[in-house]
């Protein structure tokens, strides 16, 4: 009876510690009232695995069942990709198994194992909880895992997988020899430190990636400011030319009115009014920064023989700051204008289709333009900065290109 009570206590500790471990690394998802029962759900899932595990003679199958339960638990209760779910589930179980194996070796080396076993189960879990607290202390809340590539995740995942494989090997190849047990004891301790070092290494890489992203955004800010000044200079020069034209047209209307040709003067005044209206603002989104960028790009494109069509909505509640807005809009529009200029030189129709709306609580920004050939997407095109903005807000950024058109879509 005492062993049954002890088993339930052990599973309760494991469930609580696992939830605490996953909360450290993964962002919780909103699952309503079920989110308040995460601990209970994992506790009963562990109980089911323990009961099912009694029907299997192979330890490897039991280990796979436990890790699969952890992955499923993370899928339901956390916003994480499959790579993160597998990595942190394997890492959590590796630390848990290592502490059990560590105390198992101590038990094997003790004089009266039957007595020590009962008292070593709880200390094993306490040591594991201490490791979880240490990991929580090391981790600084960096959970922007989108910066890591699939190859990097594969390399990181090899550590907990090899750890589990090594533990299974030590478990099945257990020996009564004191030297072997001592070697296994040191191996267990070494593997514990290696897995903690992997967490610290992951933390360092994410911090460096964040610094690199911030540096790239700072550089983009400077480029955007310079581009803004150049655009403003172009606007002033264009306004100067337009003012000269307007003066000439006004003098012409005065001459026509003096001659009594009111019909020709009225027609000229109407064309002048339309020209001024188009020059003032081609796009109005109820957001000054968005309007400034879109109108600047519209006039810059028109001067190079490129047309733009807009489908825009009210951007009054846009959550991006000014820098991010300029980065998001300018990069994609500059790339589109650059490609359309090349298409126009070949006599092709050069039209940029822009969509900027807020639908279903999400911002959708799409740019589609023709290309003269399939564009090789590289970081030099500024798309990496757009991706950085999308990642910051947990959004999506997709690019497609063929021999005829290029399209970029951002959803935030």
For residue 311, the number of C-alpha atoms closer than 13 Å in the C-beta half-sphere is: 13
Residue 26 CB contacts under 8 Å (≥ 6 apart), including other chains: 74, 78, 79, 80, 84, 88, 143
Tokens matching residue 264: 């020709």
Predicted pLDDT of residue 86 = 85
Instruction: Determine the Cα angle at 161 with ends 155 and 162, to 5°.
Output: 90
Instruction: Return the minimum-mean-pLDDT range out of 40-44, 120-124, 225-229.
Output: 225-229
Find the helix or strand (DSSP H, E) in which 187 lies: helix 178-259
Instruction: Return the minimum-mean-pLDDT range out of 243-252, 274-283, 376-385.
Output: 274-283
- Stretch 309-327: mean pLDDT: 85
Q: How far apart are the first and last CA of the chain?
A: 56
Mapped onto helix, strand or coil, the DSSP state of residue 22 is: helix
- Stretch 145-162: mean pLDDT: 75
Cα pseudo-dihedral 334, 338, 341, 345, rounded to 10: 180
Predicted pLDDT of residue 192 = 82
Answer yes or no: is pLDDT of 225 > 60.
no
Closest C-alpha among 69, 123, 119, 63 to residue 94:
63
Find the helix or strand (DSSP H, E) in which 399 lies: strand 396-401
Answer yes or no: is pLDDT of 332 > 60.
yes
Predicted pLDDT of residue 186 = 80
Cα pseudo-dihedral 371, 373, 378, 379, rounded to 10: -30
Predicted pLDDT of residue 139 = 82
Mapped onto helix, strand or coil, the DSSP state of residue 114 is: helix
Tokens matching residue 51: 């009961």
The percentage of residues in the chain with a pLDDT greater than 70, rounded to a whole number, is 78
Q: What is the pLDDT of residues 126-153, one digit of tens each?
A: 888 888 888 888 887 666 676 677 777 7
CATH number of the domain located at residue range(s) 283-412 in this protein: 3.30.565.10
Q: What is the pLDDT of residues 42-60, one digit of tens each?
A: 888 877 777 776 555 556 6
- Which one is predicted more confidently, 357 or 63? 357
Q: What is the pLDDT of residues 272-284, one digit of tens each?
A: 666 655 555 567 7
Q: Are 196 and 134 in contact (CB under 8 A)?
A: yes
Predicted pLDDT of residue 85 = 86
- Which one is predicted more confidently, 282 or 68? 68
Closest C-alpha among 232, 149, 219 to residue 380:
219
**Average per-residue pLDDT in the chain?**
77
- Stretch 150-176: mean pLDDT: 76
Closest C-alpha among 309, 319, 287, 389 to residue 355:
309
Q: Can you give the residue ranges of every domain in the chain?
A: 2-215, 283-412
The full DSSP string for 334-357 is: HHHHHHHHHHHHTT---EEEEEEE
The percentage of residues in the chain with a pLDDT greater than 90, rounded to a whole number, is 5
Tokens matching residue 412: 């935030």
pLDDT band at 115 (very low <50, low <70, confident <90, very high): very low
- Stretch 318-335: mean pLDDT: 85
- Rounded to 5 degrees, what are φ and ψ at 167? -65, -40
Predicted pLDDT of residue 238 = 62
Closest C-alpha among 393, 391, 397, 395 to residue 409:
397
CA distance 126 to 120: 10
Predicted pLDDT of residue 368 = 92
From the number of C-beta atoms within 10 Å of its C-beta (0-12, 13-18, 19+), residue 386 rates as buried
Q: Are 159 and 194 in contact (CB under 8 A)?
A: yes
Strand-strand pairing, 351-359 and 307-312: parallel
Q: Are 304 and 337 in contact (CB under 8 A)?
A: yes
Residue 180 CB contacts under 8 Å (≥ 6 apart), including other chains: none
Q: Are 192 and 95 in contact (CB under 8 A)?
A: yes
- Stretch 85-91: mean pLDDT: 86
- Stretch 386-392: mean pLDDT: 84
């Amino acid at each position: 009876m005492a062993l049954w009570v002890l088993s339930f206590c052990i599973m309760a500790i494991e469930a609580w510690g696992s939830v605490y471990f996953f909360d450290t690394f993964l962002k919780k998802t909103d699952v309503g009232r079920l989110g308040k029962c995460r601990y209970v759900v994992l506790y009963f899932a562990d109980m089911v695995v323990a009961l099912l595990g009694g029907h299997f003679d192979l330890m490897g199958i039991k280990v796979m069942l436990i890790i699969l339960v952890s992955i499923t638990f993370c899928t339901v209760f956390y916003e994480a990709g499959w790579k993160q779910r597998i990595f942190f589930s394997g890492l959590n179980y590796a630390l848990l198994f290592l502490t059990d194996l560590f105390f198992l070796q101590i038990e094997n080396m003790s004089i009266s194992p039957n007595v020590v076993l009962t008292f070593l189960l709880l200390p094993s879990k306490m040591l594991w909880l201490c490791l979880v607290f240490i990991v929580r202390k090391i981790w600084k809340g960096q959970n922007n895992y989108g910066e890591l590539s699939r190859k990097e995740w594969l390399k990181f995942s090899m550590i907990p997988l090899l750890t589990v494989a090594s533990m299974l090997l030590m478990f099945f190849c257990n020996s009564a020899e004191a030297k072997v047990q001592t070697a296994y004891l040191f191996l267990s301790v070494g593997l514990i430190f290696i897995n903690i070092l992997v967490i610290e290494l992951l933390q360092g890489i994410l911090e460096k990636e964040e610094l690199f992203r911030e540096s790239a955004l700072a550089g983009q800010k400077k480029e955007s400011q310079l581009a803004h000044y150049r655009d403003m200079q172009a606007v002033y020069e264009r306004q100067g030319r337009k003012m000269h034209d307007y003066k000439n047209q006004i003098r012409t209307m005065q001459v026509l009115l003096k001659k009594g040709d009111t019909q020709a003067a009225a027609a000229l005044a109407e064309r002048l009014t339309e020209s001024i209206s188009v020059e003032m603002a081609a796009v109005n989104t109820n957001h000054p920064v968005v309007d400034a960028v879109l109108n600047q790009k519209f006039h810059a494109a028109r001067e190079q023989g490129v047309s733009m069509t807009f489908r825009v909505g009210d951007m009054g509640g846009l959550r991006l700051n000014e820098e991010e807005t300029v980065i998001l809009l300018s990069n994609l529009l500059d790339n589109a204008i650059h490609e359309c200029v090349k298409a126009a030189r070949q006599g092709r129709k050069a039209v940029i289709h822009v969509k900027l709306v807020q639908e279903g609580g999400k911002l959708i920004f799409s740019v589609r333009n023709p290309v003269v050939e399939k564009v090789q997407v590289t970081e030099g095109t500024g798309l990496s900065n757009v991706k950085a903005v999308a990642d910051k807000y947990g959004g999506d950024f997709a690019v497609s290109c063929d021999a005829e058109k290029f399209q970029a879509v951002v959803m935030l």
